[in-house]
Amino acid sequence: MLSIIESGGKQYLVKNGDKIQVETLVTEAGKTVTFDKVLFQDGTVGKPYISGAAVTGKVLKQGRGAKVHVLKYRPKSKYRRKIGHRQAYTEVEIIKA
């Protein structure tokens, strides 16, 4: 069964057994989390969400993504700045879509 959920301002197409990385959720590894903002589930389209629908997942780990380098440069002025960023995420395995 396919579902489209919303978490952290992003939409994810999920089914049972999928592992997804969502924006950081405040919970520990091993706990279950419920996504109640379901946009699409088993042929039913929400307006914007389906009332009473939920998708359940198990938190696998909290982590941080690969480093992204941001370079600022202005020609002919000796201006250079290098900034790094690592985005935090929560890895969730979908149990019941």
Interval 18-37 mean pLDDT = 96
pTM assigned to the model: 0.85
pLDDT score for 33: 97
pLDDT score for 97: 86
> pLDDT per residue over 46-94, tens digit each?
999 999 999 999 999 999 999 999 999 999 999 999 999 999 999 999 9
Give me the long-range contacts of 32-35 (CB less than 8 A, separation at least 24).
Answer: 32/56, 32/57, 32/58, 32/59, 32/95, 33/57, 33/58, 33/59, 33/92, 35/5, 35/6, 35/7
Extents of the domains making up the chain = 3-96
For the cut 90, the answer to whether the pLDDT of residue 1 exceeds it is no
